[in-house]
Amino acid sequence: MHTTPRWSPDGRQLVFRRLLTQRSDIVVTDAAGGATRWVTRDDVLDADPVWSPSGRYIYFTSARGGGLNLWRARVSAAGAPDAGLEQLTTGAGDDLQPAVSPDGKRLALSISRIEADLWRLPVERATGKPTGAPAAVVATTRVESRGAWSPDGRSVAFNSDRQGDMNLWLRGPDGADRQLTRGSGGDYQPNWAPDGRSIAFFSSRAGQNDIWTVDVASGALRRLTSEPGVHINPFYSPDGRRIAYHG
């Protein structure tokens, strides 16, 4: 099973999580098809891969240090690992779902303890190494997860159940939160279109997991998939003309 696909910044490659029996590895493949390059290949749980804006690093969640923390791998232009793996976070709680800001200087992540909150980790753009401690961005007594930076790096979309149902919310530049979607069924994993006007997500609001978009300004919803099956983990291509998803 292949899940959570993510386009490389140049749109030529995809990184994804490969699940095979008891294995969970990070793999890169050409978007047009072709050979795969294994970023990790062992018996450790690895998940949630994302590219750095430079395309030279892949960040992911891994249990290889004992708990679930953020790690990174340096990769070549072809997406093959060309250095060892490096652990970026430590400490209590599970560090999940990294998202890199467009300027490459910040990582948004979920830290799950009793509930899940959104945190920000400053990193050095050139090397991707942390330059400070994580700081809370959205912290409540409910579940706040799957943070996604807007293309201009000023806002963060995320899913939250603070009103009872799991819906999409937006933390704006002024620090205020705005609810983007409403209703039951669950809305998950927001991903911005490159122009910043809409956000793709998956939801079972129509009875099964499908890919939807929401207009950021108006809140208008559009259903993109409806054929039988499960359609999750949407991610826009850099040119905004395609959406990769798991189905």
pLDDT at 23 over 90: no
- Residue 236: pLDDT band (50, 70, 90) is very high
**Residue 239 and residue 125: Cα distance in Å, rounded?**
23
pLDDT at 113 over 70: no
Q: Give the single-character DSSP code of 139.
A: -
What would the pLDDT profile of 211-228 be if each residue is shown by its tens digit?
999 999 999 999 999 999
- Residue 144: pLDDT band (50, 70, 90) is confident
* Structural domains in the chain plus CATH codes: 2-139 (2.120.10.30)
Q: What average pLDDT score do residues 100-116 get?
A: 80
pTM above 0.85, yes or no: no
Contact partners, residue 20, CB within 8 Å, separation at least 6: 1
